[in-house]
Amino acid sequence: MPLSTAHVATDRPARYVKQLISHLGHKATAEVTGAGRGTVTFRDGACSLVSRRGELVLIAAAAELDALAGVQDVVARHLVRFATEEELHVEWSAPAGGDTLEIVTPAVDDYLLTHCTPADQVLTELAVATREATGRSAGMQVSADEGALLEMLVRLAGARRAIEVGVFTGYSALCIARALPADGYLLACDVSTEWTDLARPFWERAGVQERIDLRIGPAIDTLRALPEEPAFDFAFVDADKVGYPAYYEEIVPRLVPGGLLVLDNVFLGGTVLDPAFQEQDQQAMRLVNDALARDDRLDCVMLPVRDGVTLARKR
């Protein structure tokens, strides 16, 4: 489904969201989806409206390019008409498909990979062993640059106690665990012994096995069994996407002030932006992305790293 965005500079974004929802509600289905946010759904397309400081962000999508142009036109015309006290400029980006968005070009990707601290011998061999043992599933493993980012974040946060949801063959767990101090603790949650068994020899070689408490079972049960008190400095979520809203709800109260929650795959390959995709995964991820952005317990930043990484720091 083609989609297109526009960033409209204004000091009154929330007011325009209200006006658009109220006015376009006569010709389409228009609803408020949160503070300063809304969606207008037409017969053959939709537009999300998001107010941010100093701008109104419009995300239009439709099944066909013609219909997309129609959505863009209706929204932009009404917006410009409502702006009686200022002149608004609505410039739409070129249409792109949600599932074909190229977040980072291959040239940039190659360049950034060759300018990160390279993965060491243990991590490199773990990546090779994962490919050999799991075939296509190896794509679930975090990339070398994301592993390096996790390690850096744990060190910068000065974390001692961490949680990981989604271990697979232990690459990201290794990156997190070795950035913890010698007496650090990583609670690592996964449902699969088949995959996590592969991790153990590599954790041992890296000398971090003592820090990792691997719990096999649905992560939500492991998290809910923890005392509901702030005892963790860092959490990384990279498991089943439908579980993200519940993981977020359980983890935030258990983070200390200043603690960091990191979520992986927040773009879902770009499909999270595209209303054509309405599977449970996209719905859950949209819910979490929206909730994090307006959660006043957290400061949040979404990064275009790989498939999208959100950092949320507890206030």
Ligand X SMILES: C[S@@+](CC[C@H](N)C(=O)[O-])C[C@H]1O[C@@H](n2cnc3c(N)ncnc32)[C@H](O)[C@@H]1O
Contact 30, 40 (CB under 8 A): yes
Q: Who's near 170: CB < 8 A, 6+ residues apart?
A: 126, 188, 196, 198, 199, 200, 202, 203
Minimum CB–partner distance for residue 167 and ligand X (Å): 6
Tell me which residues in 139-158 interact with ligand X (CB under 6 A).
140-142
Which stretch, 50-58, 109-117, 169-177, 281-289, contacts ligand X (CB under 6 A)? Answer: 169-177
Minimum CB–partner distance for residue 263 and ligand X (Å): 12
Q: Which is nearer to ligand X, 166 or 184 (CB)?
A: 166
Site string for ligand X, 235-274 (x = CB under 6 A): ---xxx--x-------------------------------
Of the candidates 299, 200, 214, the residue with the CA atom closest to the CA atom of residue 259: 299
Residue 63: both structure tokens together: 């099944």
Minimum CB–partner distance for residue 193 and ligand X (Å): 10
Q: Which is nearer to ligand X, 61 or 174 (CB)?
A: 174
Q: How many CA atoms lie within 13 A of 29 on its CB side?
A: 7
| 219: contact with ligand X by CB under 6 A | yes
Q: Which is nearer to ligand X, 60 or 198 (CB)?
A: 198
| 192: contact with ligand X by CB under 6 A | yes
Which stretch, 37-45, 83-91, 113-121, 189-197, contacts ligand X (CB under 6 A)? Answer: 189-197
Of the candidates 294, 295, 285, 287, the residue with the CA atom closest to the CA atom of residue 263: 285
Q: What is the dihedral of CA 203, 247, 32, 301, to 10 degrees?
A: -30
Cβ atoms within 10 A of the Cβ of 160, count? 17
Residues 271-303, buried b or exposed e (16+ Cβ, 10 A)? bbbbbbbeeebbebbbebbebbbebeebebebe
Residue 31: both structure tokens together: 């609803």
Member of 195, 202, 232, 248 binding ligand X (CB under 6 A)? 195
Which stretch, 1-9, 38-46, 167-175, 294-302, contacts ligand X (CB under 6 A)? Answer: 167-175
Question: Which residues contact ligand X by CB under 6 A?
Answer: 140-142, 166-169, 171-172, 189-192, 195, 218-219, 238-240, 243
